[in-house]
Amino acid sequence: MSSLLRSPENWSVLHASHELDLAFVVDCTMSMSRYIAVAKRKIQDIVEKISRNAYSVRFALIKYRDHPPQDESFVVRCEPFTHSCDTIEGCVGEMEAAGGGDPPDAVADGLYKALNLDYRQRATKICIWIGDARPHGLHEADDQIPEGCPNNHDPVAICHEMARKGIILYCVGCEPSLRIYRDFFMGLSLITGGQYIRLARARILPQVIVRLTCEEVENENLMGLVEDHINLRYIPGARVPLEAVDRLVNSLHEELRLNNNRTRRIRFNAREIEPFTDLAKRISFMHTLADVAVAFQAEVVIEQPVQNERENVEITDLDEVSPQQCVRLVRRAFARNPHRQIVVIDML
């Protein structure tokens, strides 16, 4: 078994900690006007602050609206990865919030473009989705394209492919309009080992982007240790039941704590990001939007009351790795290795 171990030094062969590929996927329909206005004003600060951390950073921007006849302007547009701050700032400056039709939008098309960008093999790969509407295909009465994306892009399947490629998805939900779909987007992010961020105020969007990027670069630097921890306890080719994965998360957290391994984590108003809900966890183990639609309709989704609006976003100094971060790291490690399989029974 020792031959399977990967030390932090050897992990650098697979992961270049100074390389960062950051893709933005942005809903550009009319309802997003205040968020887009803030992004346009602040993108230069975002780019400069992220680049200042000595990363070899590339940015990409994907804009989407909706399919005809809901929107006749465009479905999706893409600016591929570039090192040029001027180029990405110019593309953001050209963003306009307009159009849209029924409540769902072309979310699947935006994520599909993000999946197929030209990521560098060894870079930390982060995709930040920013939107306030669900995709087509969740079988709700106000969906004018109820069968889902006309281009046959399945957002759930796309997220599983993102996870296999090492792309970490953060879903930044512009609430309150997205509140009842929080579990859905939280589940999508968990597939990749990412997180769902509730955003009630447009003005803190730049802080969120900068700080979650810093956290994720730190977390990726732990993946060599996570791989070693799994390889000591896992027989290649075996099917691993979900409850065993839960034990693995607990043992990883204890090992990182005892070894004083540190990372950073994003906090809102001095509080941790909310934990994954049970429905989000179940969704994260499903593989198609059709399966999710059935589960979502069967679940009584109660619109939760608005908590105190999160006005202050901070990133901690190097600190103990949290249990929630360990959940994401373990899920990430399993998703990236095709020889590992988590067995889920009776999730519905």
The pLDDT value recorded for residue 11 is: 45
The pLDDT value recorded for residue 237 is: 64
Strand pairing partners for 268?
271, 313
Pick the CATH number of 16-223+262-343 from 3.40.640.10, 3.60.20.10, 3.40.50.300, 3.40.50.410: 3.40.50.410
- Average pLDDT over all residues of the chain: 85
Q: What is the DSSP string of 283-345?
A: HHT--SHHHHHHHHHHS----PPP-S----EEE-SSEEPPHHHHHHHHHHHHHH-TT-EEE--
Alpha helices in the chain (DSSP H): 8-14, 33-51, 85-93, 107-115, 155-165, 182-191, 205-220, 223-233, 242-258, 278-284, 289-298, 323-336
The pLDDT value recorded for residue 309 is: 53
| Cβ proximity of 4 and 220 under 8 Å | no
The pLDDT value recorded for residue 10 is: 45
pLDDT tens-place string over residues 287-304: 999 999 988 777 655 555
Most confident of 114-118, 136-140, 337-341: 114-118
> What pTM was estimated for this model as a whole?
0.90
Q: Pick 327 or 348 by higher pLDDT.
A: 327
Mean pLDDT of 122-126: 94
**Is 338 a residue whose pLDDT tops 90?**
no
pLDDT tens-place string over residues 198-250: 887 778 888 888 888 989 988 998 998 998 898 888 776 667 788 888 899 99
The pLDDT value recorded for residue 348 is: 38
**Is 13 a residue whose pLDDT tops 70?**
no
Most confident of 92-96, 114-118, 271-275, 325-329: 114-118
**Is 305 a residue whose pLDDT tops 70?**
no
**Is 7 a residue whose pLDDT tops 50?**
no
Label residue 78 by pLDDT band (50, 70, 90): very high
Block residue for tokens 């029974």: 345
The pLDDT value recorded for residue 244 is: 83
Label residue 119 by pLDDT band (50, 70, 90): very high
The pLDDT value recorded for residue 325 is: 94
Q: Pick 51 or 319 by higher pLDDT.
A: 319
pLDDT tens-place string over residues 87-115: 988 888 888 888 877 789 999 999 999 99
Q: What is the DSSP string of 26-43?
A: EE-SGGGHHHHHHHHHHH
DSSP 7: -
Mean pLDDT of 1-10: 44
**Is 326 a residue whose pLDDT tops 60?**
yes
